[in-house]
Structure 1
């Protein structure tokens, strides 16, 4: 295990209080994957009333040390302005962060996933003008995530027989075996998802159902709190109507 890392690019995924004034932080980094560290005294305020706590959705230059699984964060320098996301944009960001937090193993680098995550954060913009991700962007991220973890969808042939999928056929999809003859998805939908052609509402709906099933399988019973928060938001009196293309997971 590396004793010390200097100047590593990364983002805050999740944090929680640790002891009196510190935070336990989970970071997503370019070359070291997900890293857990203690950020000391970040909950204290300076004489000016400012807090040194890390912010989500902001790229940092990070340095840490330590031989065990739990590192000690020694420096975090912001490389860009903070993104203070609201409403639908916030739920999009929370969903991305939680997927990485729940599914990516510690110290397992995924440069392609990191690049995809960084590009999507760039789509948000800043401040009040921040825009949520649309369904196609979320589905593409989910597929990159599954590919990087070795759980990629196989949508060109049946999982057991190896027969090519037929556009006119009907199929189910099992996370552990792949596509099998069934009724939930048309072959045309699965082939369109495989090609990344998510323009049609029916294909987007099929992709959402398919990817949720596969992701839930690999979560192995873990709950995604970002989904529950979003459902609560939609049920609240203050929620604004959301166009179909902007609806979240």
Structure 2
């Protein structure tokens, strides 16, 4: 009996990465709202006459239709849905950083619609709000990503003992121990009241917006602790896009 080809239409998506496949086609890694991260082949996408060429760009909201039952599905159509222009400069590098995180940490075909919405919100900030607000949006996305894939411990108690947090004492988020009391040499700790406020914001009705406001006041400690945690779970010392940012800043 012939296999039934699965057809998906009008699916909100973003292109995370693209690879050459043959002289005229591309393999795409795509983050979709309802299907998760998927691989698509865009046949003929490299041809000058292809309608895919101006659409299959990173950090641009699109709608796709695709079909097939193999690991790599076949892209049938892709349409730009409008909105912001592509980020540039540091914001563009930040977008590539988000894409690298999703490629390393998201399993294929594992839907995360709320994370997709957070990604879309972060990309909008990249295109319109440089500076501290952009950095805060990255920290919020990192928190939501870790929570969605089950790698963020509860931020309202100590992970190993389940003891309540003391709002006046400092705590650190570490890869193998979760949230624990800060040691003397922990330079980038947050106090218990801050961790509790982050947990409440993440649990709220609008977690991205609520957590964004809070993170503006704790950018440096959050960046340091989340970077260590993400590098640990990605299995790398430094992510490629992060190293690229460091290299550019040193020139």
Q: Does TM-score exceed 0.5, indicating one fold? A: yes
Q: CA, structure 1 residues 167+36, in 2 after alignment: closer, same or farther (shift >3 Å)?
A: same
- Does residue 230 (structure 1) correspond to residue 245 (structure 2)? The answer is yes
Tell me the distance in 1 between the aligned counterparts of 2:177 and 2:42.
Answer: 42
Q: Is the 8 A contact 2:40 2:72 kept in 1?
A: yes
Counterparts in 2 of 1:116 and 1:103: CA distance versus 1, 3 Å: same
Number of residue pairs matched by the alignment: 229
Shift of 1:216: 1.4
Counterpart of 1:32 in structure 2 is: 35
TM-score for the superposition, normalised by structure 2: 0.81
CA distance in 1, matches of 2:163, 2:145: 26
Q: Note closer, same or farther for the CA distance 1:226–1:4 as it changes in structure 2 (3 Å cut).
A: same
Structure 2 counterpart SS, 1:158: coil
1:81-230 aligned at under 5 Å gives the runs 83-125=85-127, 131=130, 134-183=134-183, 184=186, 185-188=189-192, 189-191=194-196, 193-194=198-199, 196=211, 197-200=214-217, 203-221=218-236, 224-230=239-245
Contact map agreement 2:13 2:63 (CA 8 A) in 1: yes
Equivalent residues of 2:171, 2:182 under 8 A apart? yes
Distance (Å, rounded) in 1 between the aligned partners of 2:149 and 2:31: 15
> Is this contact kept in 1: 2:9–2:65, CA < 8 A?
yes
Structure 2 runs not aligned, ≥5 long: 201-210
Q: Cα offset for 1:176?
A: 3.6
The 4+ residue runs of structure 1 with deviation greater than 6 A are: none
Deviations 1:94-115 (A, max 9, x none): 1122111211111011010011
Q: Give the Cα–Cα distance (whole angstroms) in 1 for the partners of residues 199 and 107 of structure 2.
A: 26
Q: In 2, distance between residues paired with 1:53 and 1:19?
A: 19
Query: 20, 25, 30: which one pairs with 1:22?
Result: 25
In structure 2, relative to structure 1, the CA distance for the partners of 1:172 and 1:222 (3 Å cut) is: closer
Corresponding residue SS for 1:229? helix
TM-score, with length taken from structure 1: 0.82
Q: Report the RMSD for the aligned CA atoms in angstroms.
A: 2.5
